[in-house]
Structure 1
Amino acid sequence: MSKAKRLLDILMFVKTKRKFTAQELADEFEISVRTIHRYLLDLSDMGLPIYAEQGRHGGYTVLENRMLPPILFTEEEAVSIFFAFQSLSYYRSLPFDTEISAVAHKLYNSLSNDAKIKVDKMRSYISFWNPKRSIDTPYLNDLLEASMLNKNLSIQYDSKSGITTKYIRPIGIYAHDGLWYLPAYDYNKQKILLFRADRVLSIQLKETNEEEFMNLEEWFDSTEVTNPIRLYALLTREGVRQCKSVPWLEGCVETKEDGTGYIDSPIEENEISFITPLFYRLGTDVQIKEPKYLIDRMRLQAKEILKMYPE
């Protein structure tokens, strides 16, 4: 029997039994006690938390842990998981204790030599790219925990108007374009707002809520508009292409046969501040018809820029 198969059998046995002696393992697998000790050292190096008790009545105990039992993957499944990890490598902060590089390293080492050669070659031809961000998000784990535990938070937030204190109820976190975002119910504004997680400067845990609230998945699926205004804009072919690359705007774009298009959709009134910079970057590839408030904001921004570049 190969050493790898023997280690797997011993691992399954000790995780089930939890408390045992080296002699018991030697009798079970019909090998020497010395060999059992070597195998237990190998398992410990692999991450199995084993506690040794010395003395006449001593032995070994497998401590409570979150280590998963062995999972068998096909070669194709292992390769696909390995490359899925690659998309996470562009994020400076992750809400996980184990570094993705360590997990990917373990998975790579478990592959056959042929599979390793295949992976090494594929690295030059495929990438799940995101912008490489150097921004740290120190409270990412805490924000996720608070969302899952249904807790309110008092946060110091670096907003456009300066550092402010927010009293919120977070509903989850999500990653987009190399950054982490935090949708949360703002008790002062009495509505769900979207915060940049890296702009949270400090947090203070508050009370736990008794009643359930909307979670991130439900928020993504929600299409309810509480303060609707009409957004109507004409798009060139390039405007259609650009707007369709924006996830939250993609579903609102209607395309004509010639490739041009338009947006005619109700939006939340407070979304105007997010839409203005996007449409301003599009320049002549978008012509806003409604609302007048958005047109006025575009004009104001254009005037402010022209002041910086007088003739």
Structure 2
Amino acid sequence: MKKTERINDMLIFLNNKRYFNLKDLMVRYDISKSTALRDIQSLEEIGVPIYSELGRNGSYKIIENSVLSPIYFSVDEMYALYFSILTLNGYKTKPFNIESIALENKFKHVLPDNVRKNIAIMERTLSFEVTNHSNFSPFLKEILQGIFAERVYHLTYLKKDVEKALIAQFIRIESKFGQWYAKIFNFETNNVQIIRCDKILSIVETSNTKPKNLEELLNYLATFHRKPDAIDFIVIVNQRGKDIFDKENYPSMRIQKENEHYIITGYFNKQEVDLSRTIF
């Protein structure tokens, strides 16, 4: 591993650590003591707040810092990050307090001139399809924070133009088919359901219901959709079928290549028979 790659990896390795020993670096990167000492000096030079503690084991402490240490990216990584940022332009609302144009300009500002010039050419010659999310979903950030904090909400939302109310805990938000969707645990039905985020009218935190552990809810998502009467299937398709699968499929389906064909496996519930006929 080259020194620049090693230093970059060290930044990530030490990111959440408060203490480390010289031997930690020597073992992880298979380097000598003198090389490890030079690497620590390089980390200090780029702003990592390290100081050594007395002792024979070469102990070091990293001072808590609210500013992230710099991370170095290759040119290809810079290109990938830039075009990842561009995908945000298709979202009318995002679960973060950012304006994608401002983020794009900020990122461009720190790029080397030659990389900026190449990106300008790429913008005219390389195109990524981005699904347009035109509906406004004002509660995305609050929903995401509620997931982190395992909060329970009293929420109201529209379903077929009828206002509904329920007590729920958000588990996951997903972007699919040009919409934001939320998977929630409904405490009234004691089950998971999916609602569109742009249909949510209000969410108010409530302390009257004990929240569930997020990890348990995430594990439950893997099986909540499958009913006891679900029907397993195996379908063999050609390249055209594989292309159709790539454009639209469901979490209950998997595809793998087998010689010149592709095998789709999965299941559908009995009430989804008509839907399965449409797909296949």
TM-score (norm 1): 0.57
Look up the match of 1:138. 138
CA distance in 1, matches of 2:182, 2:188: 17
2:93 paired with 1:93 = yes
Q: Which runs of 5+ in 2 are unaligned?
A: 1-43, 51-64
CA distance in 1, matches of 2:78, 2:201: 39
**3-state SS of the aligned residue for 2:126?**
coil
CA distance in 2, matches of 1:106, 1:257: 47
Amino acid at match of 2:250: W
How far 1:204 sits from its partner (Å)?
Answer: 1.4
2:253–2:264 CA contact under 8 A, matched in 1: no
How far 1:257 sits from its partner (Å)?
Answer: 7.6
CA distance in 2, matches of 1:88, 1:223: 30
Fraction of identical pairs, as percent: 17
Aligned length: 222
CA distance in 1, matches of 2:170, 2:140: 12
2:230–2:268 CA contact under 8 A, matched in 1: yes
Look up the match of 2:247. 245
TM-score (norm 2): 0.63
2:87–2:130 CA contact under 8 A, matched in 1: yes
CA distance in 2, matches of 1:218, 1:231: 21
How far 1:277 sits from its partner (Å)?
Answer: 5.2
Look up the match of 1:227. 228
1:175–1:181 CA contact under 8 A, matched in 2: yes
CA distances 1:241-262 after superposition (whole Å, capped 9, x unpaired): 4234334257345888886977
Look up the match of 2:182. 182
Look up the match of 1:169. 169
Deviates more, 1:133-142 or 1:235-244: 235-244
CA distance in 1, matches of 2:221, 2:124: 35
**3-state SS of the aligned residue for 1:248?**
coil
How far 1:75 sits from its partner (Å)?
Answer: 3.2
How far 1:157 sits from its partner (Å)?
Answer: 1.5
2:92–2:136 CA contact under 8 A, matched in 1: yes
**Structure 1 residues 144 and 215: CA distance shift in structure 2, 3 A:** farther
How far 1:136 sits from its partner (Å)?
Answer: 0.5
How far 1:125 sits from its partner (Å)?
Answer: 2.9
Matches within 5 A, 1:30-41: none
2:255–2:262 CA contact under 8 A, matched in 1: no
Look up the match of 1:39. none
Look up the match of 1:191. 191
2:256–2:264 CA contact under 8 A, matched in 1: yes
2:123 paired with 1:123 = yes
CA distance in 1, matches of 2:236, 2:76: 43
2:181–2:195 CA contact under 8 A, matched in 1: yes
How far 1:161 sits from its partner (Å)?
Answer: 6.7
Look up the match of 2:77. 77
